[in-house]
Structure 1
Amino acid sequence: MGTTTNTTVATDTTEPPCFSADQHVTLANGQIISIQNLAAGDHVLTMSDDGKRFVASEVAFFIHAEMNRTSVFYTVTTVSGHQISVTPDHYIRVENNGYIIASQLTLNYSLFVAHLNHPVRIRSIKKEFKAGLFSPVTFAGTILVNDVFASCYCLNNLRGTHYEKHHLYAPFRLWYYIAKYYLRFGSDIYDMPRDNIHWAIGIYVHYGHYVVFIYRSLRALFLMSLIEFFIRISEIIHPILIKHVYY
Structure 2
Amino acid sequence: TCVLLENNQAQCLCTPVFRGLTCNQFSYVPCGDATCHGTQGHCVANSCICKTGFAGPRCDSTDFCATFPCLNGGTCVRTNEEPYGGCSCPAEFSGPTCSNDPCSPSPCLNGGYCVRKADNQFYCQCRNRNKGVYCEQVECFPSDATVDVLNIGKVPLSSLQIGSQVRIINEEDQVSYSPIIAFLHRELDGQALYKRVRTRSSTIELSSRHLINQRKDGFVWAETLNKGDEIRVLLSTHANETQWEEVVEITDVHKQGLMAPLTEQGTIVVNNVHASCYALVKSHKVAHFALAPYRLYHRLFGQLSDTDLMTKPILSYASTLLHFFKNLPIAKDLIF
TM-score normalized by the length of structure 2: 0.53
Equivalences for 1:13-28 in 2 at 5 Å?
A: 15-28=137-150
For residues 198 and 166 of structure 1, the distance between their equivalents in structure 2, rounded to whole angstroms, comes to 15
Aligned to 1:83: 203
**Do the aligned partners of 1:204 and 1:211 also contact (CA within 8 Å) in 2?**
no
Which structure features the higher share of strand residues? 2
Identify which of 34, 54, 66 aligns with 2:156: 34
Query: How much does 1:211 deviate?
Result: 6.5
The DSSP-based 3-state class of the residue aligned with 2:220 is strand
**Residues 117, 152 of structure 1: CA spacing in aligned structure 2 closer, same or farther, 3 A cutoff?**
closer
Is this contact kept in 1: 2:221–2:282, CA < 8 A? no
Residue 58 of structure 1: aligned partner? 179
Structure-1 residue corresponding to 2:109 = none
Out of 121, 126, 135, the position equivalent to 2:251 is 126
Does residue 74 (structure 1) correspond to residue 195 (structure 2)? The answer is yes
Cα separation, partners in 2 of 1:60 and 1:117, compared to 1, 3 Å: closer
Structure 2 partner of 1:113: 233
Secondary structure at the aligned position of 1:118 is classed as strand
For residues 160 and 111 of structure 1, do their structure 2 counterparts lie closer, same or farther at Cα, with a shift above 3 Å needed?
Answer: closer
Q: Is 1:166 aligned to 2:288, yes or no? A: yes
Q: Describe the SS at the equivalent of 1:61.
A: strand
Deviations 1:198-227 (A, max 9, x none): 33332222233247869x9xxxxxxxxxxx
Q: How many percent identity over aligned positions?
A: 25
Answer 1 or 2: which has greater helix percent: 1
CA deviation after TM superposition for structure 1 residue 50, in Å: 5.7
> Which of 219, 222, 246 matches 1:102?
222
Paired AA for residue 77 in structure 1: R
Residues 1:40 and 1:212: Cα distance change in structure 2 (over 3 Å): farther
Aligned-residue CA RMSD in angstroms? 2.7
Structure 1 alignment gaps of length 5 or more: 1-9, 181-185, 217-247
What 5-or-longer segments of structure 2 have no aligned partner? 1-129, 236-240
Shift of residue 17, structure 1, vs aligned partner: 2.3
- Equivalence for 2:103: none
Q: Distance in 2 between matches of 1:161 and 1:90?
A: 11
Shift of 1:130: 1.1
Matches of 2:199 and 2:142, distance apart in 1: 17
How far 1:28 sits from its partner (Å)?
A: 2.4
Q: Is the 8 Å Cα contact of residues 109 and 121 (structure 1) preserved in structure 2? A: yes
* d(CA) in 2 for partners of 1:213, 1:176: 28
* 1:48 shift after superposition: 3.0
Q: Which moved more, 1:115-124 or 1:16-25?
A: 115-124
Match of 2:321 in 1: 204
In structure 2, the residue matched to 1:232 is none
The CA deviation string for residues 83-102 of structure 1, in whole angstroms up to 9 with x for no partner, is 11101100000112201100
Secondary structure of the structure 1 residue equivalent to 2:180:
strand
**Which one has the largest radius of gyration?**
2
For 2:276 and 2:329, the matched residues in 1 are separated by: 19
Of 141, 144, 147, which residue of structure 1 is paired with 2:272?
147
**Per chain length, whose mean CA-contact separation is higher, i.e. which structure has more relative contact order (CA < 8 Å, sep 6+)?**
1
- 8 A contact 1:69–1:133 mirrored in 2: yes
With over 3 angstroms needed to count, the CA separation of the structure-2 counterparts of 1:189 and 1:25, relative to structure 1, is closer
**Structure 2 CA distance, aligned partners of 1:152 and 1:129?**
20
Change in CA separation of 1:129 and 1:98 when aligned onto 2, cut-off 3 Å: same
TM-score of the superposition, structure 1-length normalised? 0.71
